[in-house]
Structure 1
């Protein structure tokens, strides 16, 4: 082999090695389990979760009140149960037609990059809105949605065979924007059995999976306060909730029966 050929071979090997290293750096394998809750036992682990109490729902013209009653939030038979009722519950002098549950890991589980994986069985019915999502622990780039929001899974109860994955970003509301896609089961609905919902979140790239099936990749977003990959370059925490009504799903109708349950088998975070 000539000296020139040797040089070309070395250059090609160097470039290939750098390409592999760059790919590995940008897309970690996320094979180290750093946080989990299998919901064993009969009590919620308050070192990992906070139950949110909110007399005015979660915004978006939702109809429920969020309480910390075991009727709405509990651990039972190996699952976290978020349960919605039509019971005219009251908190701090405010009564609403529906009650439900919402939990979060804020300052108990906060991560920058990794795989967040949740196995859950979802409810169904017009006006029912289960969600698995993430918010920034610190609003580094400003109020919602300037600091970002990662929706791992949302579902309209009247379309129980389809889930959505969405990013919210850009300027603060009402000038924010969102981008996303949906996944439809080939047969059956998400109310029939448990399914696994996950995002793989690395620098400049977020992938969505259902039962291991990759259905969406986003690599383009923006921030009004900083350059790419802001705002998705900060620590986020996880939220699980079951909402009733609101602009995303529309009204409840007479065919929607209560109580409604969102069952969560486990939450696992890998980095």
Structure 2
């Protein structure tokens, strides 16, 4: 005869009906938790209102105690006499002398190699971090014919975004151009961009690139009210924003201006290679006609004003300079750079080697009654550095039958100099804050697949050019 313990063991305590009752009760508890705890938290996180500013936010110092200067920089390069006779001091350098450096996210204090397709210019290559390294005293950015996704090529781009920025001064890079002169297709570039726009992350540049504007007028509006002139969505962070809106510092026009050290081509069908040295700007002059009477050609034998003056996405102020064929393929190097003073009374002057090539001052981007805009600034934003080797038919014809791979752009060094009495090497300053704004919009700044600001589920701040918010 079975004992009581054995009977209890054989008894089925959890009938199907019992299980159903428990599951229903669990769903009810979960629903109550969602309604009164999880839902309010999620709603608070997804509020569309402007993020609250941190009153205790600490800005990066304009002049840090220890400047990011490479110990391998030779003593004679610690200062530089500028083209207008001033003595500037070195505030940043990277000599790339240590072999084997790589630049994946988090590996380097000053640079990061991106992992993305640069869709804004419909590039033929995919940028991968493994295409960038140091070897033989150079930074190597190498393009290979190696399928990646739907693209047949891969190459390298590094940025100092949100790591090293500067405002004003002189920047120079010593470079050997890829492959050889006389063959078109490769697109090596060294350029700078305002820190609020992360290159390759379209949502961040949407409505910011290439604005450099601090006025309340037609220049901030969608298309500048003329779709035949501009396709831009309007200056998202303009001067006219309403109080309490999502803006890094309301009352100040902000943007992501671009100054190019160079964009190079090998030259089509045997023609000599050349570079363009440019300032990309918005809003635009009527018919993109800047006041070039105020531009200066310092080297008229080799440098000309670029016939390309812009299009509906950018106005380009650009000079073109022919290059020596010996500066290609690792056989020879040349120095390229620009010196600039930010602001509405500023200027930019570009150079190749020891020779200035061309320059502009604030008059070139002055007010324009025909397009209803005011003075544009020579880039005031904290500017970061970008180095890349691309390929796109929109920049120059691509002679694939003549190009050879791998092809590499070699960078011997990058150096930045500033007036010792006006050192500014911060990405986040009280007058031009960026850190909190970037941190408050992580989807835009850390997801390169989001190409428009609204796709990140952020809204542009309300504004009114007549002050009637």
Q: TM-score range by the shorter chain?
A: 0.7 to 0.9
- Greater C-alpha Rg: 2
User: Does 1:250 find its partner at 2:394?
Assistant: no
Counterpart in 1 of 2:186?
128
Q: Is the 8 Å Cα contact of residues 174 and 333 (structure 2) preserved in structure 1? A: yes
Q: Is the 8 A contact 1:166 1:179 kept in 2?
A: yes
How many residue pairs get aligned? The number is 237
2:358 aligned to 201, 216, 221, which one? 216
| 2:219 aligned with 1:164 | no
Match of residue 262 from structure 2:
153
Which of the numbers 239, 259, 264 marks the counterpart of 2:411? Answer: 264
Unaligned runs of 5+ in 1: 1-26
In the aligned structure 2, how far is the partner of 1:95 from the partner of 1:34? 41
SS at match of 1:36: strand
In structure 2, the partner of 1:78 is 137
Q: Is the 8 A contact 2:132 2:156 kept in 1?
A: yes
1:64–1:98 CA contact under 8 A, matched in 2: yes
How much is the aligned-residue C-alpha RMSD, in angstroms? Answer: 2.6
Counterpart in the other structure of 2:113? 51
**Kindly tell me: are residues 108 and 99 of structure 1, through their superposed partners in 2, closer, same or farther at Cα, counting changes over 3 Å?**
same
How far did 1:95 drift? 3.3
- The secondary structure found in structure 2 opposite 1:164 is strand
Report the equivalent of 1:115.
170
Asked if 1 retains the 8 angstrom alpha-carbon contact of 2:350 and 2:358, the reply is yes
Distance in 2 separating the partners of 1:58 and 1:197: 26
1:230 Cα offset (Å) = 2.0
8 Å contact 1:135–1:150 — kept in the other structure? yes
Separation (CA, whole Å) in 2 of partners of 1:160 and 1:40: 31
1:206 has 2:271 as partner: no
Q: Judging changes above 3 Å, is the alpha-carbon distance between structure 1 residues 153 and 225 closer, same or farther for their aligned structure 2 residues?
A: farther
**1:222–1:142 CA distance, 2 compared to 1 (3 A):** farther
* Paired position in structure 2 for 1:238: 385
Shift of 1:59: 2.4
Q: Is the 8 A contact 1:122 1:262 kept in 2?
A: yes
What is the alpha-carbon distance in structure 1 between the residues aligned to residue 272 and residue 326 of structure 2? 5
How far apart are residue 225 of structure 1 and its match? 11
1:182 aligns with 2:182: no
Give the structure with the larger strand fraction.
Answer: 1
Residue 126 of structure 2 corresponds to residue 65 of structure 1: yes
Cα distance in 2 between the residues matched to 1:144 and 1:84: 27
Does the 8 A contact of 1:141 with 1:226 survive in 2?
no
- Once the 2 structures are TM-superposed, how far is the Cα of residue 119 of structure 1 from its aligned partner? 0.3
Alpha-carbon offset, residue 218 of structure 1: 1.0
Contact kept, 8 Å, 1:51 with 1:103, in 2: the verdict is: yes
Give the whole-Å Cα distance in 2 for the aligned partners of 1:59 and 1:97: 18
How has the CA–CA distance of structure 1 residues 249 and 141 changed in structure 2, closer, same or farther, with 3 Å as cutoff? closer
Q: Deviations over 1:101-122 (max 9, x none)?
A: 0001111110110101100100
